[in-house]
Amino acid sequence: MTLEGWIQYGAMAVVIIALILKWKGMKKFVAVGLFASFYANLWCFIAANYHLWNFHANVIVLAVTDFSLPVNFVVVPIIAMFWVRYCPLRFKEMILWAFLWTTVLTGSEVVIERFTIV
């Protein structure tokens, strides 16, 4: 299996295991996950139509060429559900929370984009 496949399947496995471990109390955040999936698909569609990016490594369905099915339908919704559930309540802590996780996720995406074909 290629590195891209490992990244996609690995990300799916990690978030599904995390969801199984923390399932209690996550049902009320399902709407957040559905909206996050819709939002991710919307931005992928816009970016593909304006030629901002194309998606090279398709693992699950080879006919889909404009976005990653595992990420948009599994990883993004579950991460959004965890993000909203564990977000602090005070404004300063919310800003630090958003900055920290945005930096971590963007940094990992930059590394993945730079060194793989995902």
- 63 against 35, higher pLDDT: 35
Average pLDDT, integer, range 18-40: 92
Residue 56 in this model has a pLDDT that exceeds 70: no
Task: Provide the token pair at 58.
Answer: 């398709």
- Map tokens 């901002």 to a residue: 52
Q: What does pLDDT average to over the chain?
A: 83
Least confident of 2-6, 26-30, 99-103, 106-110: 2-6
Of 6, 21, 8, nearest in space to 74 by CA:
8
Average pLDDT, integer, range 12-23: 93
Share of residues in the chain with pLDDT > 70 (%) = 85
The model's pTM = 0.76
